[in-house]
Structure 1
Amino acid sequence: MSPCPSAETELACELDTVRPDLSAAYAAALPGARAAVLTRLWRALAHEPLPWIARREPTRDGLVLHLADGRRLHGPPVDPYATATNATEVVVDGRGYARAAELVTALGVPHGAAFAAELDHSTASLALSRAGQPREAPEPVTSWAWEQRVVDGHPYHPSCRSRPGFSVAEQLAYGPEHRPLVRLVLVPVEDGLLRGEWPAWLWDGERPLVPVHPWQAAHVLGGPVQDGPVAHPLMSLRTLALSDGGPHVKTAVSARLTSSVRDISLSSVETALVVSGFVESVAGRTDGLLRIARTLGALSAHSPDLAAMVRESPETYADAAAGEWVVPVAALPATGLAASPAWLTAFTRLALTVGLRLLDLGVALEAHGQNLLVVLSPTGAPLRLVYRDLADIRVSPARLARHGIKMPEVADRIVTDDETALRRKLFGSLVAGALASTAGTGPALGAALEAAVRDLPATSDLAALRGPLPAKALTLMRMSPERPGDLWTRLPNPLVQTPVP
């Protein structure tokens, strides 16, 4: 057999062995996957504060980036909120690159080698995701089925489909876009940390059982396990919806997927029920416009690699008898609803009303397209929101105090009174993330924002929304391993077209 020098060819070699029926479709999907990842990377180069880019110069046919070493990069124009692919080549001093990994390698910048490998893997996995889609599929009727329609992963992250450590067989078996059923395994815990009510099916006599993702059991854990129930993987891959319509199970997966290693910290388990109850109480002040998918129980074997949480299904907050249905915001483009400017304005108004109200009360949600879901009427009108996964919210004691709300005992890492940090958390996830990817372009986002903000209370937070929009500098974060935590950039605001200095 010939060598497999890149992730693209390595995946092709594996595919020829485990699923040869997909090999031709994979090869056909590669050019589009390369362009999709390159488009995401070019957006990052155009807008993130990367230290080796000296300046940016718009041209008639696109954009030129001047590097600190004197080289020039030329590519197409960049709408920072667009989700369509438009970069098939980026030119560096006269030489064109169609593959993101090769472009980063050619740049020769610090930490570029590791990032290039990620991009190579992202491209290959994205092609596999697209190749594995059925030609015909029934209309989804559950939120988990809708989110399995999110084939391309994160709309703006170049590592949108990077799954290092997952073989082709494992991607097909566990990736939600491939629509598998995953059988959880159960591990007994002798002396664990348990909070909340642990379901009856997760007990072995007096010992609680941790539901474990099979990838985690095979690659990280040792020791005996029991077969558990089957479930549908959600967008995060490590969270699954039980096939019997029961609650969702969040498991630990100690692999880097997109940006983060998906384990579950001991502090998250310790405070899970407190945070859930607290945010639910604050959400009660939104006149029913926001519901929280509550955490029901959390268990850790005193290890982030062996822990799990059980939480309500978002369907809990939709009236199925009345024809209501639930869609994760990341899957809204698949519904076709956002093509209507009136619908997009109504959804934007609902999301901003809820997000700004909670921010004023003292809770900044990380309301990106994966955490935020919308309950829709039988005709598709947005009725209310559901929020899940509370691990990365921020809580402001000062703002809570202004409204007479008692500060809960939560982990210090989510507590801040810094106005910039609070607004970054909400605006970066909701506006530059969820709303932008739903709109699909800057002009569409700007029009929806302009129409929606007219009806919102005039607050200092709303005024701040008219400035440059914060967004996570996802590529800078991946290329700055010495700087843990979130790094940020500022994007031109489509609401007022504020120039970014």
Structure 2
Amino acid sequence: MDRVDFKPTVFTALTRGDTDEAADAYAAAPLLNCLLREVAEPTPEPGVHRLPAGGTLLRVRGTRRPAEPEVFTGGAWRRVGHAELVRLTADELFRATGVANTALPAEMTGSRDAVAALLGARAKAAVPEDPYRRSEQSLLLGHPYHPAPKARGGGPAADWLPYAPEAYAAFPLDLLAVREDAVAEDGDTRALDAFGEAPPGYRLLPAHPWQLALTQDSPRIRAAFADGRLLRLGRTARPLWPTAAIRTLYAPEDDLFVKFSLDVRITNDIRRLWRHDLLKARATDAATAAAFAARPGPAPAAWLSDRGYRTADFAFEELAVLVRDGFAGHLLPGATPLLAAALVEGFDGSPLDRLTDPADWWAAYLRQVVPPVLAAFAHHGVVVEAHLQNTVVAVDAAGLPVQALFRDAEGVKLLPGVTRAAGWERLVYCLVVNHLAELAALLAERFPGTDPWPAVRAELRRHTADGALPEVTALLTSPTLPGKTNLLLRWTNADGADARYLPLPNPLSAAS
């Protein structure tokens, strides 16, 4: 099979001199995906869609990453830039819902401007040599079905660019000391003490410098500095670098991940480590780790545990830091970890760039990623949010997937805390719609004539034999899959955790 000359999207081919055009294209693609999935109606003409509330005809190029939007006015098609696309979207949603929203259009514009800033920063930055770091820091597009995936809270770029993974950032942590009688913690946080030394009577508390700047005017934190409950100790000796999650950093010399609160809206939520999540984190993580440890079979899947958290009782959420396993003891010897989301978006060194026929690679990928997620649900009632940014796939020297590693206990659901039906719906959305469908679409685009879905169907069917997952049989025959409605969710100001789904055509039911 011959691979076609491939550019993941039209904007990746733009030159450095086309920053504004490239930023428009990067920002338009996910917004168009949302419009076409959640709002628009197809017409008989390929690529043409109707926005029903306003009656506008919208034409795009491409399917996986729509580009070059046009509207039909005055008897002709006219190109629209990102700013006009935002206005068109806001008008359509107001007409359709009767709800006014000024915040989301500002976020969409901010997301586009953030991309422009990131493109400028990347042009001056050195590309990381480590392929894992390159994969984590490659996501200029980000969530392909969110209207503002790169919004950074509306602040000036100078405030957040030093901490942006997409700009290949690396930076030291601020080191605070919390008086021992004001420490709140749970689990194993000893790894934090390696970042520095606290004075007698205090405990070390690393802080993200962006979060510390965001909370500098907090009366509780200012009072704690004033009365000695909180001290400034300087910064870590070595830099850490941010993963795709932005607020989760990796310390390569220590082989440790640390996750912080960040009082910034990123996609659907303000990214704090919320008290209710921290208080249940140990039980959730323990259940998930046990599910992975108990799994039989040769596939060496791993769970990167959130070992524990430490914070100050007077600023429980604002100053919280979570300790997560690194790769030691989990990653197969000689394997190279890569972020699954980066495989979809593309990055220098992606194993997909070496393929001429994807069949064996895809079968190996499915064999590593699918079984552990299904087994955790079927035998332990654990719903792992195996979406693209929570999944790390390790490859061997030839680029073949040999292991899947999963992370982020904050997003894990446990039965019966949620109903089995709700848990299964979330699992299918994260694993199939958000994850496998994105890779399948990429493979079909890169390798014309390829149908990746029969292999997915075959892998899923293997998990029906023991009767533990009757949901799989229903999934293989269902006409629809659940698609999350991020555009409508943000427009109506629904809680980010309150996922709402609409039915999407199920390619599994048509796979032979």
CA drift at 1:479 = 0.5
The correspondence for 1:236, drawn from 215, 232, 245, is 245
Once the 2 structures are TM-superposed, how far is the Cα of residue 129 of structure 1 from its aligned partner?
Answer: 2.2
Change (3 A) 1:47 1:316: same
CA distance in 2, matches of 1:345, 1:127: 37
How far 1:108 sits from its partner (Å)? 6.5
Whether contact under 8 Å (1:349, 1:453) holds in the other structure is no
CA distance, structure 2, for counterparts of residue 237 and residue 165 of structure 1? 16
Give runs of aligned pairs for residues 385-400 of structure 1, distance below 5 A: 385-397=404-416
Judged with a 3 Å threshold, the aligned counterparts in structure 2 of structure 1 residues 128 and 138 are, in CA distance, closer, same or farther, namely closer
Matches within 5 A, 1:41-120: 41-48=31-38, 50=39, 56-68=41-53, 70-76=54-60, 79=63, 82=64, 84=65, 86-91=66-71, 96-99=79-82, 100-107=85-92, 109=94, 110-120=99-109
8 Å CA contact 2:16, 2:123 repeated in 1:
no
Q: Is this contact kept in 1: 2:339–2:391, CA < 8 A?
A: yes
- CA–CA separation in structure 1 for the residues paired with 2:439 and 2:201: 47
Q: What is the TM-score when the length of structure 2 is the normalising length?
A: 0.79
TM-aligned CA deviation for residue 417 of structure 1:
2.0
CA offset at residue 381 of structure 1? 2.0
SS at match of 1:88: strand
For 1:6-17, what aligned pairs fall within 5 Å after superposition? Answer: none
Identify unmatched segments of 5+ residues in structure 1. 1-23, 398-414
Bigger shift: residues 378-387 or 457-466 = 457-466
Return the alpha-carbon distance in structure 2 between the equivalents of residues 264 and 307 of structure 1: 7
Question: What are the within-5 Å matches in structure 2 for residues 305-454 of structure 1?
Answer: 305-320=318-333, 323-332=334-343, 333-334=346-347, 335-338=349-352, 340-361=358-379, 362-397=381-416, 415-419=417-421, 421-441=422-442, 443=444, 444-454=451-461
Picking from 178, 187, 196, the partner of 2:187 is: 196
- Paired with 1:25 and 1:170, the residues of 2 have a C-alpha distance of 26
Q: Deviations over 1:351-385 (max 9, x none)?
A: 22122111212111111111111222222222221
Matching residue's letter, 1:313: G
The answer to whether the Cα contact below 8 Å between 1:371 and 1:389 also exists between their aligned partners in 2 is: yes
Gap change, CA 1:25 and 1:256, over 3 Å in 2: farther
Deviates more, 1:311-320 or 1:292-301: 311-320
Q: How many Å apart are 1:392 and its aligned residue?
A: 1.2
Change (3 A) 1:138 1:118: closer
* Inter-partner Cα distance in structure 2 for 1:477 and 1:170: 28
State the match for 2:11 in structure 1: none
Secondary structure in structure 1 of the residue aligned to 2:373: helix
More off after superposition, 126-135 vs 230-239: 126-135
Q: Which residue of 2 aligns with 1:250?
A: 259
Q: What's the CA shift string for 1:135-169, capped at 9, x where partnerless? A: 99667435334211223222322212111244222
5+ residue gaps, structure 2 = 1-13, 217-221, 226-230, 445-450
Q: Distance in 2 between matches of 1:117 and 1:377?
A: 44
RMSD: 2.8
The change in CA–CA distance for 1:33 and 1:494 in structure 2 (over 3 A counts) is: farther
Partner of 2:501: 488
Asked if the contact 1:315/1:325 (under 8 Å) is kept, the reply is no
Q: Which moved more, 1:97-106 or 1:355-364?
A: 97-106
Aligned AA (1:429): C
Q: CA deviation at 1:309?
A: 0.5
Q: 1:174 to 1:144 in 2, by over 3 A?
A: same
For 2:389 and 2:252, the matched residues in 1 are separated by 20
Name the amino acid aligned to 2:32: W
Structure-2 separation of matches of 1:376 and 1:487: 34
Confirm or deny: 8 A CA contact 2:26 2:140 kept in the other structure: no
- CA displacement at 1:232 relative to structure 2: 0.6
Cα 1:130–1:136 shift into 2, 3 Å: closer
Give the secondary structure class of the aligned counterpart of 1:348.
Answer: helix
| 1:64 Cα deviation after fit | 2.4
1:453 partner letter: L
Across the two proteins, how many residue pairs are aligned to each other? 445
1:464 and 2:474 correspond: yes
Structure 2 letter corresponding to 1:225:
R
Instruction: Select the residue among 165, 172, 189 that pairs with 2:161.
Output: 172
TM-score by length of 1: 0.81
With over 3 angstroms needed to count, the CA separation of the structure-2 counterparts of 1:300 and 1:495, relative to structure 1, is: same
Following superposition, the deviation at residue 388 of structure 1 comes to 1.1
Provide the residue aligned with 1:6 in structure 2: none
Matches of 2:108 and 2:31, distance apart in 1: 9
1:356, 1:462 within 8 Å by CA — same for their partners in 2? Answer: no
CA contact (8 A) 1:355 1:365 kept: yes
| 1:198-257 Cα shifts (integer Å, max 9, x gaps) | 232366233223221111111213445332322111111111111423311101110101
Q: Which amino acid aligns with 1:98?
A: G
Q: What amino acid is aligned across from residue 465 of structure 1 in structure 2?
A: L
Partners of 1:394 and 1:422 within 8 A in 2? yes
Cα 1:159–1:219 change in 2 (3 A) is same
CA distance in 2, matches of 1:215, 1:92: 44
* Match in the other structure for 2:308: 297
1:271 aligns with 2:255: no
Code of the residue aligned with 1:248 in structure 2: it is F
Q: Whole-Å Cα distance in 2 between the matches of residues 147 and 315 of structure 1?
A: 18
Separation in 1, partners of 2:44, 2:158 = 45
In 2, Cα distance between equivalents of 1:141 and 1:424:
36
Does the CA contact (< 8 Å) of 1:183 and 1:227 recur in 2? no
Cα distance change, pair 483–306 in 1 and its aligned pair in 2 (3 A): closer
Instruction: Quote how far apart the aligned CAs of 1:40 are.
Output: 1.7
Within 1, Cα distance between the matches of 2:327 and 2:103?
A: 37
